[in-house]
Structure formats: C-alpha cells, structure tokens
Amino acid sequence: MIRSRAVMAAVTMLAVGVAVPGSARAQTANFSFNGPGVSGNFLLTYGTATDSKYPNAFEVTGISGNFTDTNDGLNINNAPVTSLVAINHAIPVANPPAPNDFSTFMVAAGLPPENNGALSFDNLFWPGGSSLVCVGYPFSGGVLDIYGLLFNVGNGQVVDIFSNGVTPGHTGPDYGVAVATASNSLSYTASGIVATTTPEPSAVYLLGTGLVGLLFVVKRRRDKSSQGSALNGELAL
C-alpha cells in the first residue's frame, strides 16, 4: 500500500508537469538547423499564451543561442542571439488565414519582389506542426510556419527562420533563412535547410498522455485491491 501510494504520487507529479506543452507553464525546446552556409542552435521558450486565431500555436517568449551565415559574403560566425524582435500585429493584406500575431519588419532594398519590402514573422511555435496559414501556399508542417521567427544578432542585423512545410521531395519540413537590416537584405536562403527539435514536442505530449494512462491503471489496480480486501473482510464475518 505504501509503495502504491508513492507510485501514484510520482506519476501524478510527472503527468501534471508534462501532459500538454504550454498548458500549465512555459515550455522549452532546443531548435537547431543546418543548410548550405547557414546553421544555428537555439533554446526557445514558448507558451503559455497562444495566437488568438490558432490555439495550437504558442507564442515564443524567449530565445538564446548562436547563428552562422557565410552566404553572400556575410561573415556571421556563431553570433549570439540577443533578443526576439517583438511582434507588431501588422495587417496581412488579402491573407485571412494569417495568424493574429502576423508581423512585418520593413527592409528598404534587396528582398525578392514577393516579399513586398518586408520580412514577415509571427514568432509562433507549433508543437503539433504548423497549419496552412497563407493564401495560395499549399504546404504546412514544422514547428515554425511560413512566416517564421525573427530575432536580433547584433549590428542592426535580424534573422528570420521560417518553415516551407513538407514540400515535394522532402520527407520532413523544409526551412529557409533570411538575414537583413532595415536598409538592406543581406542573405536569403529560400530552402534546403533541415531543422531538428529536442525534445520533439509530439514526444513530450505522448509522454504526458502515457503517464496519465499509467496513473489510471495504478488507480484501478488499487481500487480492485481495496474491493478485494473489503470482500474478504465480509466473508470473514
């Protein structure tokens, strides 16, 4: 009986702590990526707040780590990430599926025409994979979405890492990275970047639900044991 109570207490504490990412407290995840000339390794803090249109998308509230980009003549090597760029709730013109946290960082020159002079971002983390959030763009998936995560690396430079979703020819989400200042686009790697997240958010969710299930089994066995003891007592009478 004492051991059963100890197991029950331990399982309850674990289940409450990890059952659903962001449901009770902020969560953290290690996010790393690598591609031609670019790489990064970050610790992200996300939750508990979600986007008002997408309750499965958690707002990233903290970031630390380093970033490298040697493309287009850049010499950014293991630059420390200094801070997130704050979301500004820009108006997504003719794009109703965009998250409420959709934001823009204006860049005076050098971006591809389809960017309309701005890097878009929303700083959202999708533990179960991103949804379709852009008119005319048919792909989704990845812990970031097509708008992505925007952060500072010093010297007026910002980095936008975004998910292109699971596109043809890729078994997992494909990512891209852009580097810019308010004056100029410095580097734009549209695709070909592979990212990993540790722990996998889905694994954390499954661990939580598994612990809840274990808690139920332990409780059920204890209840049956109690019923058996009571029945034996009645028979003894």
Residues 6+ apart with CB under 8 A from 100: 51, 52, 53, 89
Q: Cα–Cα distance between 71 and 88 in angstroms, integer?
A: 29
Q: Cα–Cα distance between 8 and 4 in angstroms, integer?
A: 6
Quick check: is 8 in a domain? Answer: no
Question: Is 140 within 8 Å of 166 (Cβ atoms)?
Answer: yes
Quick check: is 178 in a domain? Answer: yes
| Positions of the chain with pLDDT under 50 | 2-23, 202-218, 224, 226-227, 229-237
Domain count, the chain: 1
Quick check: is 225 in a domain? Answer: no
Quick check: is 85 in a domain? Answer: yes
Quick check: is 186 in a domain? Answer: yes
Quick check: is 230 in a domain? Answer: no
Polymer length in residues for the chain = 237
* pTM for the model: 0.76
**Widest Cα–Cα separation across the chain:** 91
Q: What is the pLDDT of residue 24?
A: 56
Which domain does 58 fall in, by range? Answer: 15-203
Quick check: is 228 in a domain? Answer: no
Q: Cα–Cα distance between 133 and 65 in angstroms, integer?
A: 28
Quick check: is 209 in a domain? Answer: no
The three-class DSSP label of residue 131 is coil
